[in-house]
């Protein structure tokens, strides 16, 4: 996982937060704004986690788990935050079925990072 891609995700999270706070405030109801803010929070937290993975220099035995952790965080941001961003904007409830898959990706990433750190 490269830090450059993680920084792009962090930039997007900050931009999405600002967009939600300013441009969407008068256009979405309180529930949709709360959904948007949840997406932003998880996007930013996991962008930072991805940056940490990119900076982490694991032992050779842990490289695979570390690399997979980063990709799990990326997948989680796409599925979890992405589905919530779209749900807030469109109101299409079926998008919410993707959110738990992103949550599982986030959890998997943290477990893999713990495995890499232990090795």
Q: Give pLDDT, residue 1.
A: 59
Alpha helices by DSSP H, listed for the chain, are 3-22, 30-55, 63-76, 82-90, 99-118
Pick from 62, 52, 64, 68: nearest CA to 117 = 62
Pick from 52, 48, 20, 49: nearest CA to 33 = 20
Structure tokens that stand for 36 in this block:
């948007």
Q: Which residue has the tokens 């788990």?
A: 65
Q: Give pLDDT, residue 118.
A: 85
Pick from 42, 41, 17: nearest CA to 110 = 42
Pick from 82, 113, 107, 110: nearest CA to 95 = 82
Render pLDDT for 57-82 as a digit per residue (tens, 0 to 9).
Answer: 888 888 999 999 999 999 999 999 99
Q: Give pLDDT, residue 56.
A: 85
Q: Give pLDDT, residue 110.
A: 97
Kindly give the parts of the chain with pLDDT less than 70: 1
Q: Give pLDDT, residue 30.
A: 96
């Amino acid at each position: 996982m490269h830090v450059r891609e993680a920084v792009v995700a962090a930039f997007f999270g900050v931009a999405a937060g600002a967009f939600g706070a300013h441009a969407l405030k008068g256009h979405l109801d309180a529930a949709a704004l709360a959904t948007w803010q949840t997406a932003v929070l998880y996007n930013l937290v996991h962008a930072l986690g991805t940056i940490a993975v990119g900076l982490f220099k694991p032992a050779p035995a842990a490289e695979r788990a570390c690399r997979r952790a980063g990709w799990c965080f990326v997948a989680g941001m796409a599925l979890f935050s992405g589905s919530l961003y779209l749900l807030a904007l469109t109101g299409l409830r079926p998008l919410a079925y993707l959110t738990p898959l992103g949550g599982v990706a986030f959890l998997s990433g943290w477990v893999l990072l713990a495995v890499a750190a232990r090795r």
